[in-house]
Amino acid sequence: MDIVELIDGEDFRQRLESLGVHVPPEAGPETCARLAANRHRANGVDGLDAAVREWLQKTDILLPSVRLAIERHLLPALEAKA
């Protein structure tokens, strides 16, 4: 039996932190995505577009709360900067 590690809120938060987005440790996916989107609109976030594309290619292991946060906040922010 294969065990697949899901992309959860903590993975999402840590990845955003690695991109330079300050996110409080207790922040959930919605807050993480909102903070990242605001930061991207203000100054841009290098690597955010690639990270979002990567996450959306892994929807089978992406928790629904993370996917929804990406769709609500990050996709519109990326489209606005395009």
Phi-psi region of 47 (alpha: psi -120 to 50; beta: other; left: phi over 0): left
Could you tell me what percent of the chain has a pLDDT over 90?
88
Q: Where are the alpha helices (DSSP H) in 1-82?
A: 9-18, 29-43, 48-57, 64-69, 75-81
pLDDT per residue as tens digits for the range 27-50: 999 999 999 999 999 999 999 999
Query: What value does the mean pLDDT take over residues 43-69?
Result: 95
Question: What pLDDT score was predicted for residue 61?
Answer: 93
Which of the two residues, 1 and 5, has the higher pLDDT score?
Answer: 5
Question: What pLDDT score was predicted for residue 33?
Answer: 98
